[in-house]
Structure 1
């Protein structure tokens, strides 16, 4: 083997996975077909759960120190959810994808892991022992496992001939990074009486400290072929149709047309090859859910591949990646399709649709509705199916507990599991997995629980089921 894991694609998903493998002590190679990192913002928001995960690896504080990354209020189909402010430890934040990619790539380089660029994959073959990847120019890399993180038009998925069912795009809209002047709202979704609409949210500032915004817009007659260039005149015309003379374009930094295609791979695992991020699921980009879902794919898969490489993974463990993550992305596709419908992307102003949106907007004034939508959008409501999930905490993201001199999330930086043992009852059983599970919390008021390396509770409550839970997630005792 040239390496244990080959990661194809150096976007947020691939970079996060490479870091997870590094934390797990697994040799990995990260390749990308681009000769240099993209300068396009693409996604722009980071959910609460993703920030928690970065915090658990010690990455959140230095990431936030890279610039001005304002927080904001969650929205669903452009309807803001103000009652959710302050619900989670980390609010939704505006951090452009290009910033996240640059930060993660530099972090990996500081650990001696550099992206091998200008590597265009052309061939793929796997056998019982590993995967052979061939690249343009004749280069070959042999690995025990391969992960496709190479985007919505994934070469790996194509070479696998993997099923990618769903719906093709039926409409295009414009997404652009802009500087604006005038009476510019901080965050909004506005649709005029003629069906033209525009959505704005903050992207922080440019190097000169000037505010940048992501603009999305569409409406009647604005669904053009995806390859059609977006011009400054088109942006100005779209702004004028919605805001009149109140908002003016100062600078167009980047623009593209996006579609409402919605597809998801039927299987995330194909032998020794795994699909993650946009290679596994694509949808209309709303609320950066694609980027966040891909990062969470990587966090779920990384420690499991590490366990397989180190030889202690239970036989079923790699299979839980598809079982846990496929339903999550399926739910994302459904909520994005619902938002797309309510936002009337084509600007039809259909009376039935307007009536449904008015009713939905009225329902969002209810606290429980806002909380439900916030759980859906923030990632904090994800609950994986697990043995023992009749217990309230099992399957959910672990709370960040005060364990005296340290908080529990900081203890997950080791990449191992964490047994919180406040009454000091489980030293003997935990001692059977000393290389895979840390133990902490003695003398604190915390609840006993077992937390996986990705930050999800996998046992709580019944002491008699702790040892089976350790075996289920961390293999046979040493």
Structure 2
């Protein structure tokens, strides 16, 4: 083997996975077909759960130190969820994808893991022991496992002939990075004739001037993807939504995006796994594509590490599909619902308008906003696990530390499991898995619980103790 894991695609998903494998002590090679990293901002928001995960690896503070990334409030279909402001320790924050990629690439390079660029995959073959990947020019890499993180037009997915059911794109909208001048900008604006513009902060440029991500659409604005977006088109869209109150000062880049919604039928194909946009594509609302891909990587990374080190229990790698496929399907559903309520094609159809008005009224209810926030932020995600039917904590992210004695963002830095043992009663059992799980006793006032390396509770305080859960998630005792 040339490496334990080959990762194809050096976007946020691929680089997050490379870091997870580095933390797990597993060798990985990260390749990308581009000769240099893209400077386009692409996605623009990082949700609470993704920030928690970065914090659990010690990455969040140094990432935030690289620029001005304002915090914001979640929205659903352009309806701001004001009642959720301050609900989580780490609020939604505007961090462009390009900044995350630059930070992660530098972080990996500082630890001796560099992206191999200009590597275009042309073929792959797998057998009982591993995968052989062939690249343009004839170079080959032999690995135990291969992960496709190569985007919505994934070469790996095509080579696998993996089923990718769903809906093709039926319309396009414009996404652009701009500098704007004029009056104070509302985040979401619709005109009576169906034209709309959404504006989000993107931090500042090197001169300290505020940048914004702009999305726009409406009647007659759905053009083929290969038609270039011009400054005049952006100005016309701004006039349609704002009149003369807002002007375009600079167009940094723009592209057309479609409302295609597809998801692979299987996330695992033998020794090959699909993650991020290679596994699911949809209209980019709320940066859910990037955040979902990063969460794919966090779920898969420690499981691949367990398999390489030889202690993975039977079926552990299959839980990647079992846990993440429903999440991806849920994201597609909520994005399609948001697209309908936002009337992204500007139809101004009476049925759509009525549905939006009814829904907007419902969002005045706190429980509705909290439900939507749990879904969008990732903080309410619950994996189906043994014991979840009897224990409300099992399957959820480890409880927000707040001001309490347990700080998961510090305890999980090693990439190992953590057993909270506040009454010091599990020393003998924990010792059997001490090469994979850390036992923590300084947790007065907390419940006993077992947390996986990705930060999810997999056992909590049942009378039978943690032994069955340790075996289920961390394999046979040493």
Q: TM-score normalised by the shorter chain: which range applies?
A: over 0.9
List per-residue Cα deviations over 1:55-85 (Å, max 9, x = no partner): 0000000001111110001100000000000
The answer (yes or no) to whether the contact 1:13–1:295 under 8 Å persists in 2 is yes
Distance change in 2, residues 1:54/1:184 (3 Å): same
> Contact conserved, 1:283 with 1:290, CA < 8 A, in 2?
yes
Secondary structure in structure 2 of the residue aligned to 1:93: coil
1:228-256 CA distances to partner (integer Å, 9 max, x unpaired)?
Answer: 00000000011011100000000000100
Distance in 2 separating the partners of 1:415 and 1:81: 34
In the alignment, the residues of structure 1 paired with residue 249 and residue 4 of structure 2 have an alpha-carbon distance, to the nearest angstrom, of 49
| Matching residue of 2:50 | 50
CA distance in 1, matches of 2:231, 2:251: 7
- Matched residue SS, 2:19: helix
CA distance in 2, matches of 1:418, 1:249: 51
Secondary structure of the residue aligned to 2:308 is: helix
Residue of structure 2 in register with 1:250 after alignment: 249
3-state SS in 2 of match to 1:234: helix
Structure 1 residue 445, shift from structure 2 partner: 1.3
Aligned counterpart, 1:193: 192
Offset, 1:447: 1.1
Q: Which residue of 2 aligns with 1:138?
A: 138
Identify the residue that residue 27 of structure 1 maps to in structure 2.
27
Q: Provide the secondary structure at the position in 2 that maps to 1:317.
A: coil
- Contact 2:41–2:177 (8 Å) recurs in 1: yes
8 Å contact kept, 1:134–1:140: yes
Q: What is the root-mean-square deviation of aligned Cα atoms in Å?
A: 1.1
Shift of 1:406: 6.9
Aligned to 2:408: 408
Q: Which residue of 2 aligns with 1:210?
A: 209
Distance 1:86 1:156, change over 3 A: same
Q: Give unmatched runs, 5+ long, in structure 1.
A: none
SS of alignment partner, residue 464 of structure 1:
coil
**After alignment, is 403-412 or 413-422 more displaced?**
403-412
**Which secondary structure does the structure 1 equivalent of 2:124 belong to?**
strand
Distance, in Å, in 2 between the alignment partners of 1:329 and 1:139 is: 34
Shift of 1:349: 0.4
8 Å Cα contact 1:423-1:442 kept in structure 2:
no
Q: Distance in 2 between matches of 1:332 and 1:222?
A: 25
Moved over 6 A (4+): 402-406
Q: Which residue of 1 aligns with 2:284?
A: 285
1:145-193 per-residue CA deviation (whole Å, 9 max, x = no partner) reads: 00000000000000000000000000000000000000141x5111111
Partner-residue secondary structure (3-state), 1:371: helix
**What is the match of residue 152 of structure 2?**
152
What is the CA distance between 1:400 and its match in structure 2? 4.1
Alignment-derived partner of residue 275 in structure 1:
274
TM-score scaled to structure 1, two decimals? 0.98
TM-score calculated relative to the size of structure 2: 0.98
Contact persistence 1:401–1:446 (CA under 8 A): no
Aligned to 1:357: 356
User: Which residue in 2 is equivalent to 1:12?
Assistant: 12
Work out whether residues 89 and 400 of structure 2, in 8 Å CA contact, stay in contact via their aligned partners in 1. no
Partners in 1 of 2:71 and 2:377 — Cα distance? 13
Whole-Å Cα distance in 1 between the matches of residues 337 and 283 of structure 2? 11
Matched, 1:425 2:417: no
Q: Provide the rounded CA distance (Å) in 1 between the counterparts of 2:452 and 2:248.
A: 48
Alignment partner of 2:88: what SS? Answer: coil
Paired residues of 1:450 and 1:460 also in contact (CA < 8 A): yes
1:295 is aligned to 294
CA distance in 2 between partners of 1:406 and 1:393 (Å): 15
Structure 2 Cα separation of the partners of residues 155 and 465 of structure 1: 46
In structure 2, C-alpha distance between the alignment counterparts of 1:201 and 1:144, rounded to whole Å: 42
Match of 2:341?
A: 342
Contact 2:405–2:443 under 8 Å retained in 1: no
CA displacement, residues 70-117 of structure 1 (integer Å, 9 cap, x when unaligned): 000110000000000011110000000000000000000000000000
Shift of 1:411: 1.2
- Partners of 1:419 and 1:206 lie apart in 2 by 44
Q: CA deviation at 1:340?
A: 0.2
Paired position in structure 2 for 1:172: 172
Q: What runs of 5+ residues in structure 2 fail to find an aligned partner? A: none
Deviations 1:325-351 (A, max 9, x none): 000010000000000001111111001
Tell me which residue corresponds to 1:103.
103
Structure 1 residue 408: deviation in Å?
A: 3.0
Q: Secondary structure at the match of 1:339?
A: helix
